[in-house]
Amino acid sequence: MDPNTTKNEFLKKVEDASGKPVIVTSDPNCSGHAVIKVAKADQPAHVLLYKPQHESVLPYLVAYQCSLALRVIQAAPETQYDLVNQPDMESEVLSLMENHAKGNSSIPPHVVSQLAIQFGHGLGWQLRSMPIAMRLDQGIHEEHPELREFQQKSVESQLQENMHALSPQAKQIAPEDIVRPNASMNAAFAKFWAEIMKSPIVFAPYVAAGYSPVASELLSINTATPESSDHDRELVVAWAKLLGLDRWFKTKNR
Amino acid sequence: MSQEFSFQLSFDDFELSLLGEPQPVVDSEEFRTKVSEFFVRQFIGFGGAARVVLNDQKREIKVVWTTNSDWGTPKEKALKLLNDGQIENALPILWTLFHRDPSDAGTLFRLGLAYNELGQFSKAAEILQRLIDVEPDHVHGLTGLGVAELAVGNLLIAEEWLRKALSIDSDDRWVLRNLSACLLKQNRVEDAIPIIQKCLTIAPDDIAMMVGLGEALDALGRTTEAEQQYRAAIRTGGPEHVVDVAKERLTEKSEATFRSGGPLRLDAVQYIQDALNRFKGMTDQEIQSLALELAMLGNQGLDINNSTKKYEINSLAGEFSGLNVISLMYAAFQQFAPGEDVGIDLSKEYEIAKSQS
């Protein structure tokens, strides 16, 4: 099938399932390569934003974001959940950042609180999306060979971005308590793709940095948790516990 | 996979348990070697190209890889950086290659040369000594070793390495060049001259050697032959700073001859006086144009000690001796750029001429 046809089919699936259209538009400021904002009851349309520089892989980005939206829209109401901050998350991350910034010329004092918010929210977003992302990606990879070229290109770009988190420069900016869970999740993502792409080398950086055991443990949680979206919450909770992120994040019924 | 991937890891973040028992101490040579080997193992069977660079200064490991077939190997990359003069960037790559295969002659040679270029001569000597252990007849390795020893003042050891290189290839201009420098540093001018002359038969356009030969001949009082070498260097042309040295030597010689006629040259006083009178009828711009023309003429070499040799000046009628031209030029420059070095000091003559005009 033609990739663009597949892309349109994914959009139609979301529209059929929700009864609302999907507006696809580029936005240089959107978080990640692309994001879908699922319409709430009082909103007329879903909005799928993508960064212009990733337009060349748009069929894959649309397929992925629509798969994510369908997982939310089609989930049984009693299994729907949100990931929220624990009461002390923001103050604890800020305190960590303040300590890390002391005598650290890489962090100007006026950006400390801004970085604390960015890192805290970033970890939450990663925890909420990464365990599920692998499941969606595996589905797209297996069922839509026509999208593989786009998917691979997009994933490669993401893998490269993630590798920066291992660098000494990243460690200068972020404290260990932020770097470690972030790199651990990235390691699981890399190990997952190393197997799918039959390219173990993309996992080599994490092996060298000692993240191999935690990556294996995270992936084994995915293997042990049933595929259905009904178990997504359980999956995210298990990742949070293993990574020690349950002190900052919890799930609650929607 | 077509994208280029890269990541950096601090030495402190490398998982030591991956390096086997006993675990090496971070920063030790064993650590670097084992880290390098670890990544080599990781990339075995990988279809693309990879570079692993250990940066001792930053204490970082940088790994870059791609499947792109026309991406250079680490060796090619290092060579390109060296050719581009980016020695400091090439060094970590060479160092990593060295740890991967400490007996690779090409790597040892380039690493030794890089240290020589950076002025780290003891490191260069250590690496090049290893090269000679691996490949005793490596002419350029022996030369590099000679250069390193020469730079730190071990002149006899340097000579020994360079003579060994010469015994393997008696026609290598770089060996000859460095051996002559080594002999000159030992004030063994007579020994150096045949070496320089041989170098010039192999590389007749090597003007640095012409100047070197001129200086050696000067040192032995063979001034006419020396002058011929300086003139040949100027005629041949080449690196500007070397040509300038040749001109400087000629000027020194001319001035020495010129001043041998007495501390004050009245003929020059007269030429300057004539010039100053001439300038009274000229605008500033005309004087500057004249000075420029005279400077260009002077650049070709003026014989100020031979009054029968005449020169023509486009903007002035008649013929002029070398001393007249240089006096005119000196006076002209004094009008708008008194600090300019015109190659001869006629300040005494100028002051007298000025007071009388």
Q: Are strands A249-253 and A81-85 parallel, antiparallel or unpaired?
A: antiparallel
Per-residue confidence (pLDDT) for residue B302, from 0 to 100: 79
- Domain borders along chain B are 1-100, 266-356
Which burial class, exposed, middle or buried, applies to B289 when counting CB atoms under 10 A from its CB (0-12, 13-18, 19+)?
A: middle
Query: Which residues of chain A does B8 touch, with a Cβ-Cβ cutoff of 8 Å?
Result: 166-169
B295 at A interface, C-beta within 8 A: no
Q: What residues contact residue B253 under an 8 Å CB cut-off, 6+ apart?
A: B223, B226, B227, B230
Of A167, A197, A200, the CB nearest to B7: A167
B57 at A interface, C-beta within 8 A: no
Of A156, A169, A204, the CB nearest to B3: A156
Least confident of A216-220, B187-191, B351-355: B351-355
Per-residue confidence (pLDDT) for residue A202, from 0 to 100: 87
Handedness of CA B56, B84, B111, B52 (dihedral sign): positive
Q: Which of A73, A106, A130 is the last residue of a domain?
A: A73
A149 and A213 inside one domain:
yes
A219 and A99 inside one domain:
yes
Per-residue confidence (pLDDT) for residue B86, from 0 to 100: 86
Per-residue confidence (pLDDT) for residue B185, from 0 to 100: 93
Cis peptide before B22 (omega within 30 of 0): yes
B6/A209 touch (CB, cutoff 8 Å), yes or no? no
A64 and A106 inside one domain:
no
How far is it, in rounded angstroms, from Cα B54 to Cα B60? 6
B5/A159 touch (CB, cutoff 8 Å), yes or no? yes
Residues B273-306 pLDDT 10s: 999 999 988 998 899 889 888 888 887 777 887 7
A22 and A51 inside one domain:
yes
Pairs across A and B, CB distance < 8 A: 68
Map residue B53 onto helix, strand or coil: strand
Q: Provide the residue count of chain A.
A: 254
A185 and A202 inside one domain:
yes
Given the structure tokens 């939206």, which residue do they identify?
A69
Query: Which residues of chain A does B9 touch, with a Cβ-Cβ cutoff of 8 Å?
Result: 166-168, 205, 208-209
- Pick the closest to residue A72 from A12, A132, A6 (CA basis): A132
A199 at B interface, C-beta within 8 A: yes
What is the residue-level pLDDT of chain A in tens, covering all 254 positions? 789 999 999 999 999 999 999 999 999 988 788 999 988 888 999 999 999 999 999 999 999 999 999 988 888 888 888 899 999 999 999 999 999 999 888 888 889 999 999 999 999 999 999 999 999 999 999 999 999 999 999 999 999 999 998 999 999 999 999 999 999 999 999 999 988 887 778 888 998 999 999 999 999 999 999 988 889 999 999 999 999 999 999 999 87
Flag whether the pTM goes above 0.80.
no
How far is it, in rounded angstroms, from Cα B100 to Cα B102? 6
A97 and A202 inside one domain:
yes
A53 at B interface, C-beta within 8 A: no
Residue of A nearest to B50 (CA): A201
Query: Which residues of chain A does B6 touch, with a Cβ-Cβ cutoff of 8 Å?
Result: 160, 163
Domain around A156: 81-253
Per-residue confidence (pLDDT) for residue B94, from 0 to 100: 83
How far is it, in rounded angstroms, from Cα B211 to Cα B19? 56
Residues B48-105 pLDDT 10s: 667 788 888 889 998 888 766 555 667 887 888 898 888 887 887 787 778 767 889 9
A137 and A213 inside one domain:
yes
- Pick the closest to residue A34 from A147, A143, A117, A151 (CA basis): A151
Q: Which of A73, A91, A107 is the last residue of a domain?
A: A73
A167 and A222 inside one domain:
yes
Amino acid at A137: D
Work out the minimum CA distance from A193 to partner chain B, whole angstroms: 12
- Pick the closest to residue A99 from A88, A109, A114, A89 (CA basis): A109
A228 and A137 inside one domain:
yes
Residue of A nearest to B46 (CA): A201
Q: Which of A73, A107, A127 is the last residue of a domain?
A: A73
Q: pLDDT band for position B251 (50/70/90)?
A: confident
Query: Which residues of chain B does A162 touch, with a Cβ-Cβ cutoff of 8 Å?
Result: none
B2, B8, B26: best to mutate for the A interface, most A CBs within 10 A? B8
Q: Is the reported ipTM for this assembly greater than 0.85?
A: no
CB proximity under 8 Å: A 95-154 to B: 152-153
Of A160, A164, A201, the CB nearest to B3: A160
Concatenating the DSSP letter of every residue in B60-95 gives EEEEEEE--TTSPPHHHHHHHHHHTT-HHHHHHHHH
A60 and A110 inside one domain:
no
Per-residue confidence (pLDDT) for residue B33, from 0 to 100: 83
Residue bearing the bigger pLDDT, A119 or B254:
A119
Q: How many domains does chain A have?
A: 2
Residue of B nearest to A150 (CA): B1
Residues A32-90 pLDDT 10s: 889 999 888 889 999 999 999 999 999 999 999 999 999 888 888 888 888 999 999 99
A210/B9 touch (CB, cutoff 8 Å), yes or no? no
